[in-house]
Every structure is written in structure tokens, then in C-alpha cells.
Structure 1
Amino acid sequence: MQGYFVTFFTQQSREHNGQPVASWIVEEARRLGVRGATLFSGSEGFGHDGRFHSDNFFDLEDAPVQVALALTQDECDKLMARFAETGLRVFYTKSEIEFGFTSDS
């Protein structure tokens, strides 16, 4: 299949309607019928604002988080439309990919 590899970047402490943004993305993808999503927790990084984010003892709630998905064109369009509907602003990357399984079984 042809599609996109989309990665969303956020922080553990960031919420949308009382739910962590990363969890919201995973749940929206599931609701839209996406086959899978992977949530990664990072140990440190910095965002567009230049602020340092880490999972150290003093800053646990601000750890960087990524949500990665392999999406068809239709799935990508539907997920991005949900972001537009809600007004939720999240940085992402999107790359064209080929994806599938190595075997039929």
C-alpha cells in the first residue's frame, strides 16, 4: 500500500479537553479505523519555543512524546480533518511511504 508515515510531537503534560494530547491522537486514530498507532515517550528534547523538555525527576510531566502512524491517504485526510475541526494545533511530520506485511499469514 501507498500512504504516509505521520509523526506528531507533543509533551506529556499537554492536554486537549482534559485528555493528554498524545492519548487523544491515538483514540481519534482508533475511532477513525486506523490499524495502529505507536506512542513513544522521549527522555529529552526542545520545542519550537526553545524550551527544554525532559523526563528528569523535576520535570516528569513535561516529557516529550511522539505518536507515529502509517496511514493511507484517506486515513491521513480524515485524521487531519479532525485536527481542523477541533482547532488543536500539534507539530507533525509527514513522509510518503510504502507499507504492508512481509507475508500473507
Structure 2
Amino acid sequence: MKGYQVTFYTQQNRRHAGKMLADWVVGLAKELGLGGATLVSGIEGFGHDGRFHSHHFFEMADQPMLIVLALTEGECARLFQRLEAEGLSLFYVKVAAEFGLLEGSQPAAAS
């Protein structure tokens, strides 16, 4: 299939509708019937404002979070329409991608 890989960037301390924003976006993907979403916790990074974000032993609120999705063009349009309707401010990267599923009958042999 052809479509997009979309990655959203946020921090653990951001909230929407009473939930952690990253969890809310993953839940929205499920609600919209999208093929899947992966939530990734980052160790450190910095944003467009140059402010450093990192995972600290005592305080993880500022921890970077990424939500990664592989979407068809139609799925992408539906997701972005919904996010815009929610009034969210959320940085993303959208890259054209080819994706699919390999469904072999045997597990890969070890070399």
C-alpha cells in the first residue's frame, strides 16, 4: 500500500480531554479504526523553542513522546480533520511511504 508515515512529537506532561495527549492520540487512532499506532518514549531531545526535554529519574513529566502511524491517504485525511477539529497544537512529520505486511508461514531461520 502507499500512504504516509506520520510521526507526532509531544511531551508526557501535555494533556487533552483529561488524558495524556499521546495516549489520547493513540486512543483516537483506535476509535477511527486505523491500522495501528505506536507510542515511543524518548530519552531526551529539544524542541523548536530550543528548550531541552529529557527523562529524569525523579521527574518524567517533560519526557519526549512520539506517536508513529502508517496511514493510507484517506486514513491520514480523517485523522488530521479530527485533530484540527479538536483545536490541537501538535508538531508532526508526514512522509510518503510504502507499507504492507509480510505473512510467511514459517519463522525466519537464524543464521
| TM tier, smaller | over 0.9
Distance in 1 between residues matched to 2:18 and 2:30, nearest whole Å: 19
C-alpha displacement of 1:45 = 0.5
Q: Which residue of 1 aligns with 2:20?
A: 20
**TM-score, normalised relative to structure 1:** 0.94
Q: How many percent identity over aligned positions? A: 53
2:92 is equivalent to residue 92 of structure 1: yes
Q: Which residue of 2 aligns with 1:74?
A: 74
Considering fraction of residues, name the structure with more helix. 1
Alignment gaps of 5+ in structure 2: 106-111
Distance in 2 between residues matched to 1:59 and 1:93, nearest whole Å: 27
2:34 is equivalent to residue 34 of structure 1: yes
Q: Which residue of 1 aligns with 2:50?
A: 50
Matched to 2:9, the amino acid is F
Root-mean-square deviation (CA), in Å?
A: 1.2
C-alpha displacement of 1:102 = 1.8
Distance in 1 between residues matched to 2:31 and 2:6, nearest whole Å: 17
Matched to 1:71, the amino acid is L
Distance in 2 between residues matched to 1:27 and 1:3, nearest whole Å: 21
3-state SS, counterpart of residue 25 of structure 1: helix
Distance in 2 between residues matched to 1:21 and 1:48, nearest whole Å: 19
Distance in 1 between residues matched to 2:23 and 2:101, nearest whole Å: 26
Q: Give the greater-gyration-radius structure (CA).
A: 2
Deviates more, 1:55-64 or 1:78-87: 55-64
Distance in 1 between residues matched to 2:85 and 2:19, nearest whole Å: 17
Q: Which residue of 1 aligns with 2:60?
A: 60
Matched to 1:9, the amino acid is Y
